[in-house]
Structure 1
């Protein structure tokens, strides 16, 4: 299994994909950002696009497509705005095609999700692009802004 955090670097992801294929490794968890499918509605969607920049969102969307195909057993994690809060490990998942819900998530919750993905006894996370946020944070912007 390969874990990638090169959100907007298409060339790096292409090199990683080639190395994975050469080594006959198909399982990959790739981190990305919210908004790459224009899935963030309302005031938060507008705020996020302004903060990240539309061109950056497009760049990350292009890079994300490297692994979103049948050659890989991928899990794409479209992360919302990250913060630290020890002990806060709850996360909420939205599927590709659904509106993104939530404005923030702790790094600790993302770590818990990664553990859950790696240890899942089934394929529930495979061939998925998941929006990742914290429950009950459906606001106009993250609480720390």
Structure 2
């Protein structure tokens, strides 16, 4: 089969046939490429389209990888958030326990202070009673001594 440059002009009006680097462009936009196939699109447009398709595929793959990475990160973040909430609840429980123990100790301290005050007052009362009884005993011994001395 003869090459594109050896093809006769198929244009009935006698207009010129354009020669392309990848083939021959006939009037009406029909192209015969370098392997003698009839094409509607310019080979450059076809190459550009293929390149764009390839770039789009690469872009889609990158977006899918990005989506996968985002999903993995979200899973990790979700797991960590769950773990943080677990520790947060545990910490709140410990804080409540400490507050309870603190309140119990304060109550116990107040009870012990009240008991100490009560025992101190009882001690003072017993001291006064002891002094009174010692005075009474001393007076009674004086009376007994006087009675024995008068006999």
Q: Considering only CA atoms, is the larger Rg found in Structure 1 or Structure 2? A: 2
Greater share of helix: 2
Higher share of residues assigned strand: 1
Q: Is TM-score (shorter-chain normalized) higher than 0.5?
A: no
- The answer to which structure, 1 or 2, has the higher relative contact order (CA under 8 A, 6+ apart) is 1
TM bucket normalised to smaller: under 0.3
